[in-house]
Amino acid sequence: MVVVSHDAEAYLGRCLDALAATEGGHELDVVVVDNASTDASAEVAAARGARVLRSSENLGFGPACNRALSDLGIRQRVEGEPDLVALVNPDAFVEPGWLQPLVDALRADPGLGAAVPKIVFADRPSVVNSTGTVLDRHLNGSDRGAGDPDDGRWDTPGEVWGWGGAAVLLCTAYLHDVGLFDERLFLYYEDVDLSWRGRARGWRYAYVPAARVHHGRGWATSERAELFEVQNRRNRLVVATKHAPWLAVVGVWLWCLGGFVVLAVRETGRGWVRTRRYARALREAGALIPTVVRERRRSVDV
């Protein structure tokens, strides 16, 4: 189990208590990566028996997950490494029976790289947060079923385009094949990128509604609007450029550039706060594009 925490003291204890209450007799090795928290997150995790990896800087989600996966031996492919590993956000609270259905799904089909639970909102458990990841025509990664009532319409298991990092069970063989998280993606779209890379290599992902998780979506980053706006838009462009057909790549860049112009006009005389964030996202994404295009060409050549 991997939990990445940054100033999550307010809810990390509940997350870890819920993991400890997992039914099914599973032996859970919980690794918490503390991303330079200024609160007592690390102490909360240690008090509950988790193995805590402290970082002196905030690594971001993907790089912190990679550190935990290395600690579990998955990066090095050491003997005794787990064949399954779960990622759970610190603001997510699993139900006691959440794990076994996900394990059963992955054990039954070796072509599955990930099993996705039904995720509902922690403060509105009758409303769906996510049943997997989908891409829209502008290459936005979004949560399937988000906002729908949990009234049975999402109770059918099946394959999904991708998985999200809030709560997921991953197959180690899948990670060996496609690699770990792209560490240039500090936060957001790192799960979309890994889903896309897996699909390109023939991996599939299953939605398992019998597994349920409650998610306080945004609690960990609600006060960090600039971080969200910059990283979300920046990484969407980077990931689209890495994987999408060239015509779609051009389209999404034109769409975003057009959105930038419209926003700048709307914010005229208002300080251009969001416009500056938008410009930063475009600038940072653009700086990565030459490297991403070279990597893309190498992968095609191979």
Distance, in Å, from the CA atom of 137 to the CA atom of 199, rounded to the nearest integer, reads 18
Using one digit for the tens of pLDDT, what is the confidence trace for 6-20?
999 999 999 999 999
pLDDT value of position 269: 83
Distance, in Å, from the CA atom of 36 to the CA atom of 57, rounded to the nearest integer, reads 5
3-class DSSP string for 163-188: CCCCEEEEEHHHHHHHCCCCCCCCCC
pLDDT value of position 26: 86
| Cβ within 8 Å of residue 25, ≥6 positions away | none
Question: Higher confidence at residue 222 or residue 59?
Answer: 59
289 token code pair:
């594009």
**222 band by pLDDT with thresholds 50, 70 and 90:** very low
Using one digit for the tens of pLDDT, what is the confidence trace for 108-145?
999 999 999 999 999 999 999 999 999 998 899 999 99
Q: pTM (2 decimals)?
A: 0.93
Identify the CATH homologous superfamily for domain 2-215. Answer: Spore Coat Polysaccharide Biosynthesis Protein SpsA; Chain A (3.90.550.10)
Of 14, 162, 22, 1, give the one whose Cα is nearest residue 99: 22
Mean pLDDT of 243-261: 96
CA end-to-end span of the chain:
34
If phi over 0 gives left and psi between -120 and 50 gives alpha, with beta otherwise, what is residue 38? alpha
Mean pLDDT of 24-33: 92
Mean of all residue pLDDT scores within the chain:
93
Mean pLDDT of 152-167: 97
Distance, in Å, from the CA atom of 261 to the CA atom of 253, rounded to the nearest integer, reads 13
If phi over 0 gives left and psi between -120 and 50 gives alpha, with beta otherwise, what is residue 117? beta
Does 223 have pLDDT greater than 60? no
Beta bridge partners of 170: 85, 114
Residue 94, classed as helix, strand or coil, is strand
Q: How many CB atoms lie within 10 A of CB 222?
A: 11
Q: Looking at residue 56, what DSSP letter applies?
A: S
Residue 251, classed as helix, strand or coil, is helix
**Domain spans, the chain:** 2-215, 225-301
Using one digit for the tens of pLDDT, what is the confidence trace for 262-282?
999 999 888 899 999 999 999
Question: Using alpha carbons only, what angle is made at residue 35 by residues 83 and 96, rounded to the nearest 5 degrees?
Answer: 45
**218 band by pLDDT with thresholds 50, 70 and 90:** low
What residue type is 23 in one-letter code? Answer: E
Counts of helices then strands in the chain (DSSP H, E): 9, 12
Distance, in Å, from the CA atom of 259 to the CA atom of 31, rounded to the nearest integer, reads 40
Q: Which residue in the block uniquely carries the two structure tokens 């960090």?
A: 224
Using one digit for the tens of pLDDT, what is the confidence trace for 162-203?
999 999 999 999 999 999 999 999 999 999 999 999 999 999
Mean pLDDT of 69-74: 90
187 token code pair:
């936060």
Phi/psi of residue 300, nearest 5 degrees: -70, -40
